[in-house]
Structures are given as C-alpha cells and as structure tokens.
C-alpha cells in the first residue's frame, strides 16, 4: 500500500524534521537533515546527519532499512544531494535501494544545484512529492539557507537592557542588568551558533570567555562555536582570559602582530576601510568560510552600526524590569538628529518571560527572504 495521503506525508515529515533537529548542535556548516523510510505504513529506517564527514541522513536511514527499503517511501527534510562531495551522492543510494517514492520538504537552497537531486530521481522513475512542512524544515536550517542564498551568514545580535533602554550605568557597570536565567538562555543561543562575534572593546570592558556554557549535562560536550573578535587596533593580547579557553579564536585585524599565539588563535587580515574593519566584507568573508549562523554580543557602537547597515536578521533583547535613568548608557546610538518618520523600524517576532526578565525577538521591518 502506498502512503500518498497528504496527512500521512505530514505525519512522517514531522518525524523526519524531528530527527534532523538532533544534529542541530553538531552539523556545523552542513545542514540538519532527517530521513524516514516507510513501507506498508511501518517505519523501517530512520537517520539524521550527525556531523561533517559522516553519513548523510538518507544513508543512515537506508542502512537501517536494508533490503526492506525495496518499494518503500522515503521522507527527507532536504533535497538529497546528486553530486560527489565529502560522501557519494545520496540520490544514487536511494535509486539503488529500490525506493519508489520520495517525499522532500525543502529543495536544496544552493542555487547552483537546487532541483538537480529531484531531476536525477525522476529520471530513475521515482515518484516525487515536495514542499511538505517547508516552513519548519527551513527553520531548522535558517543559517544554512541564508548563507547558500546570499553568501552571508544568518546574523543574530543580543543585547540586555532596562525598561528605559539602558545597557550600563554611567560608569559602565552592567553586571548584571538581567537575571541568571537570561544569561543561561544566552548560552543556549551561543551553542546553536557556528560562531560568536564580539569586539576587542567588549573584551577590554567585560573580559568574557565567549564560550557556550549550557547547564544541561548532555549538551556540555557539543562543539564550541568559533570565537571571532573584531580587533582592528590589535588590542587583544595573549594574556586575555578568553585566550585560555581552547576553542578556536579568529582575530579579525588589519595587520598581524608579532605575538606568539597558541594554535587555536588565528589572525585574519582583512582590507581596511578608514582604518577599520569593513563589516560587510567581514560578513562576506565569514560566509565564504562556511559560517552558517553568527551570534553577536557587543556594545552599543557596533550594535548601532549593524542596525544602521540593516544587516541583522534577528535582534534578541533581554529586558530587565528596571529603570536605570537617563544618565546611564544608551542602547542605540544615532548621532544625526532625525525626525520620527526617519527612525529605524523593526518588527516584533516573539516575546517570552525568561525568569524575571522579558526576552523580545525582533526582525528588520523589511523581511529578508530566506
């Protein structure tokens, strides 16, 4: 019996997406993909992509199904690959298995190869259905999709403010405006990102480690995001605290210094613009380096610049129920005196209580098509 009922397709695709999610902390520059193989309304194979240089989801599911896959249906959250990459193409294995129908959620976002897998499968007389739970399958790969389509990573920026929009007291004191639960929430976002980006200024003031330190034991051994520091004036020195943590650091600079740096620290030289790092070029560079998702933690200056450049995909703002007063440090710096209709317009996406704080997520008003 063939499972061609749409409700059935949704049912199994949901499970495939759930499987895909299991890889969200480990697949890094690869997308999260899940696959379910079904025959006679029974699941006979499941698989997901775990990490780079290992089997794709389809191969794991086919391995589990074995010969039973013959005349079965495969549910895959992302179009299977048709080219030789780090592994042989999944399309080839799917055809070999004798599977007769494949349900795919999203097409490959890479414009150069999107649709090639489906073409190959159709030529082999496999019945294809696409677009099932498209929104959900894109959501688990927001970074991969954006990078593939724009060459720029998905960019999230985090700030912590009071009700009156202040990020520090007049003397710079900011530890801690928000509650421990908000800080723990930030660690979850850090762990989901390919890289954490900050500035030498933030290192000087707050001296953070910029590692992801989730409280849940089962997440403690996941790979750490790359730490990227904008350091156009070579202020970062080997003695800074965060250097002692062994996860990768990229110092984004205009020229190298002569320090002896440990192996996990890399100086990356980018062409300057007015003696500063050109931010657009930086994000393009990071896209080329296969960074899918960047989590930014910085001060008001970089935050304001990035908002002004309209390059941020999501603003995550933790609001503490406090009033710091007008002498405290502002969230958004805009030196031009502007009129109300010229102000930066955003859009609320989600709101959630995190401990005693409120977390709001905003997107640019003109939605970037991902």
What is the smallest separation between the CB atom of 202 and its own copies, expressed in angstroms? Answer: 18
**Closest CB to its own copies among 122 and 173?**
173
Q: Given the DSSP bridges, would you call strands 272-273 and 276-277 parallel, antiparallel or unpaired?
A: antiparallel
What is the smallest separation between the CB atom of 315 and its own copies, expressed in angstroms? Answer: 8
Annotated catalytic residue within 58, 245, 314, 342? 58
* Alpha-carbon gap, residue 319 to 348, rounded angstroms: 14
What is the smallest separation between the CB atom of 167 and its own copies, expressed in angstroms? Answer: 9
Tokens of 262: 């440990």
Cα 207 to its chain centre, rounded Å, is 24
**Closest CB to its own copies among 150 and 201?**
201
Annotated ligand binding at 174? The verdict is yes
Interacting residues toward its own copies by CB under 8 A: 161-166, 169-171, 173-175, 177, 307, 317, 321-327, 330-340, 343-348, 351, 353, 356-358, 360, 362, 365
Residue that has been written with the tokens 């990078």 in this structure: 147
What is the smallest separation between the CB atom of 99 and its own copies, expressed in angstroms? Answer: 45
* Alpha-carbon gap, residue 142 to 361, rounded angstroms: 15
Contact in structure between 82 and 113 (CB atoms under 8 Å): yes
Annotated ligand binding at 57? The verdict is no
Annotated ligand binding at 81? The verdict is yes
* Alpha-carbon gap, residue 114 to 249, rounded angstroms: 33
**Closest CB to its own copies among 42 and 339?**
339
* Residue 279, beta-bridge partner list: none
**Closest CB to its own copies among 91 and 159?**
159
Told to judge if 58 belongs to the known catalytic residues of this protein, a careful annotator would answer yes
Cis bond leading into 176, ω under 30°? Answer: yes
Tokens of 165: 């929009």
* Alpha-carbon gap, residue 242 to 226, rounded angstroms: 12
What phi and psi, each to the nearest 5 degrees, are found at residue 330? -80, 155
Annotated ligand binding at 160? The verdict is yes
What is the smallest separation between the CB atom of 350 and its own copies, expressed in angstroms? Answer: 10
- Radius of gyration, alpha carbons of the chain: 23
Annotated ligand binding at 187? The verdict is no
The DSSP H or E segment spanning 58 is helix 57-65
**Closest CB to its own copies among 112 and 340?**
340
* Alpha-carbon gap, residue 370 to 182, rounded angstroms: 28
- Residues recognised as catalytic: 58
């Amino acid at each position: 019996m063939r499972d061609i009922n749409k409700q059935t397709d949704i049912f199994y695709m949901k499970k495939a997406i759930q499987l895909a999610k299991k890889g969200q902390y480990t697949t890094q520059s690869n997308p999260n993909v899940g696959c379910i193989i079904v025959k006679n309304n029974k699941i006979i194979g499941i698989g997901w992509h775990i990490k780079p240089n290992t089997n794709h989801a389809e191969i794991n599911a086919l391995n589990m199904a074995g010969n039973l896959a013959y005349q079965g249906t495969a549910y895959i959250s992302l179009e299977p690959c048709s080219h030789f990459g780090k592994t042989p193409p999944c399309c080839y294995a799917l055809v070999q298995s004798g599977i007769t129908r494949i349900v795919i959620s999203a097409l490959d976002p890479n414009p150069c190869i999107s649709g090639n897998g489906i073409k190959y499968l159709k030529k082999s007389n496999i019945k294809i259905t696409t677009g099932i739970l498209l929104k959900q399958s894109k959501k688990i790969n927001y970074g991969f999709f954006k990078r593939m389509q724009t060459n720029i990573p998905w960019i999230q920026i985090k700030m912590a403010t009071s009700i009156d929009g202040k990020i520090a007291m007049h003397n710079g004191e900011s530890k801690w405006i928000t509650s421990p639960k908000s800080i723990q929430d930030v660690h979850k976002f850090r762990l989901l990102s390919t890289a954490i980006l900050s500035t030498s200024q933030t290192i000087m003031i707050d001296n953070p480690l910029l590692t992801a330190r989730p409280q849940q034991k089962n997440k403690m051994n996941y790979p750490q995001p790359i730490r990227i520091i904008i350091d156009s004036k070579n202020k970062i020195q080997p003695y800074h605290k965060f250097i002692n943590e062994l996860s990768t650091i990229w110092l984004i600079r205009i020229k190298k210094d002569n320090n002896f740096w440990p192996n996990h620290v890399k100086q990356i030289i980018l062409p300057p613009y007015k003696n500063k790092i050109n931010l657009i070029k930086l994000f393009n560079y990071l896209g080329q380096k296969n960074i899918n998702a960047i989590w930014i933690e910085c001060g008001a200056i970089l935050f304001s610049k990035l908002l002004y450049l309209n390059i941020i995909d999501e603003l995550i703002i933790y609001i503490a129920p406090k009033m710091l007063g007008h002498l405290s440090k502002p969230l958004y710096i805009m030196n031009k005196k502007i009129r109300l209709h010229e102000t930066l317009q955003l859009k609320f996406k989600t709101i959630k209580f995190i401990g005693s704080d409120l977390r709001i997520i905003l997107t640019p008003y003109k939605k970037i098509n991902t």
